[in-house]
Amino acid sequence: MPIRRTSSLSSTGIPIAAGTIVALSLLWAFWPITTFSFTSPTRTVSFSTGVNNLNIFSGDGATIGDHGFNLTHDPPEPTFYDDPDLTYTIDKPIKNWDEKRREWLWLHPSFIPGLQNRVMLVTGSQFNPCPNPIGDHLLLRFFKNKVDYCRIHGYDIFYNNVLLNPKMFTYWAKIPSVQAAMLAHPEAEWIWWADADAVFTDMDFKLPLQRYKSHNFVVHGWPELIYEKKSWTGLNAGVFLIRNSQWALDFMDVWSGMGPQTPNYEKWGEILRETCKDKTVPESDDQTGLVYLLLKEKEKWGDKIYVEDRYYFEGYWKEIVGKLENITERYNGVEKGERRLRRRHAEKVRGYSALWEEYLEGEGWRRPFMTHFTGCQPCSGTHNELYSRQSCLDAMEKALNFADNQVLRSYGFVHSSLGDSGSVLPLPFDYPA
């Protein structure tokens, strides 16, 4: 949006007047105009802004957020929040959520524009310090990575580090977190769960939500491994997208019915081992539970579950990390030949990722969207026997720095190498020409 500003100085150097707004474009005339000003020691600057649904700065301070939400508006009409029988805990099923959510939205109309594409990321970790001496540091870096992605894409993020249901530990803890997030965020259409140890390794890529428009749950997996091999690794439950809906609440109710908070936990362990012969952990786990629901209750849930295998919705780190240097060079190679791709721009300006598409379409070397450190357990420091602690650590650093380079680019810096977390170099103008 164009911003006009004028400044003036008095003879004493003290600001005296706000500038006048000169020309208004035709477009501007359609919207109410708000003027505000701030003073610096040397001048008074005044801005005018149009008020519309995309970007509003209101005269009354911070009541209107970046997205045009009216953050102070909460009319007296009762909503589900006023119902004493409705609980955030998973032990008591919620009914008619779609109607309840719709009514809330109707009373809070500023949240309606853009609703269909509104995603909220939910992640988290344990409540106590990590046993691994560098575990908390790694979790911080993993979280920073998610905050970066969410800032860039305008998504909200919630980090939960308490067990909302004390019996639902480790991988089961996400279900109560996701349910609570749905109630806390009726304005979010999708809740996106991502394990703490999953890293965004393509900061530009956006979820193809259009592809999921008639689905309620998206998970990374391979239909053949699920339906033919009946493998518990036919999908990965560490990252999923779930639509804020009654369907989701019903689904999570059934899914969590296999969890440690139920009297049937042990029995489910047996059933799941029986169903997926390659299952290694003896206890009932959420991932095998999901495979089970796809196998045994396909008619009930299957048509709303999208098993994504066309990109790295989340990807196994072992398969990815060795390629990151190569991918960096490929991207740099394309930029060397295309001036428009390497033009410097503000971080908020996102048109460049769309420009990239024509170069990436069908290319096997597109940045993997999410890299998941399955089996590395950064917080506990224990890890799968298949790899050494050092190989996990080196791989995590590489993936985090690979992602960080994409962020730092907008700030004018780059890591000196993917293995070097500690130092950066300033980027020369027109890099990487």
Ligand X SMILES: *[C@@H]1O[C@H](CO)[C@@H](O)[C@H](O)[C@H]1NC(C)=O
Among 33, 73, 131, 162, binds ligand X (CB under 6 A): 73
DSSP 20: P
The piece of 65-73, 82-90, 173-181, 249-257 that touches ligand X (CB under 6 A) is 65-73
- Does 53 bind ligand X (CB under 6 A)? Our answer is no
- Does 58 bind ligand X (CB under 6 A)? Our answer is yes
φ, ψ for residue 340 (rounded to 5)?
-65, -25
DSSP 261: T
Among 19, 44, 46, 64, binds ligand X (CB under 6 A): 64
> What are the residues whose beta carbons fall under 8 Å from the beta carbon of 293, sequence distance 6 or more?
251, 254, 255, 301
Nearer to ligand X, 116 or 326 (CB): 326
The piece of 67-75, 85-93, 132-140, 311-319 that touches ligand X (CB under 6 A) is 67-75
Nearer to ligand X, 28 or 227 (CB): 28
What is the smallest separation between the CB atom of 335 and ligand X, expressed in angstroms?
Answer: 14
* Token couple for 177: 């977190």
Residue 177's Cβ-count burial label (10 Å; 0-12, 13-18, 19+) is: buried
Q: Site residues for ligand X, window 293-352 (CB under 6 A)?
A: 326, 329
The piece of 29-37, 64-72, 95-103, 168-176 that touches ligand X (CB under 6 A) is 64-72
- In single-letter form, the type of residue at position 372 comes to H
CA–CA gap between residue 28 and residue 1 (Å, rounded): 10
The piece of 11-19, 69-77, 300-308, 390-398 that touches ligand X (CB under 6 A) is 69-77
- Does 72 bind ligand X (CB under 6 A)? Our answer is yes
- Does 417 bind ligand X (CB under 6 A)? Our answer is no
Find where tokens 């209750």 sit.
Answer: 297
End-to-end CA distance of the chain: 30
- Does 384 bind ligand X (CB under 6 A)? Our answer is no
Nearer to ligand X, 75 or 422 (CB): 75
What is the smallest separation between the CB atom of 110 and ligand X, expressed in angstroms?
Answer: 7
Compute CA distances 414 → 256, 326, 381, 393, whole Å.
43, 16, 29, 20
Among 52, 55, 70, 161, binds ligand X (CB under 6 A): 70
> What are the residues whose beta carbons fall under 8 Å from the beta carbon of 217, sequence distance 6 or more?
240, 241, 242, 243, 248, 251, 301, 304, 305, 306
What is the smallest separation between the CB atom of 69 and ligand X, expressed in angstroms?
Answer: 9
Task: Catalog residues that contact ligand X under the rule CB under 6 A.
Answer: 58, 64, 70, 72-73, 326, 329
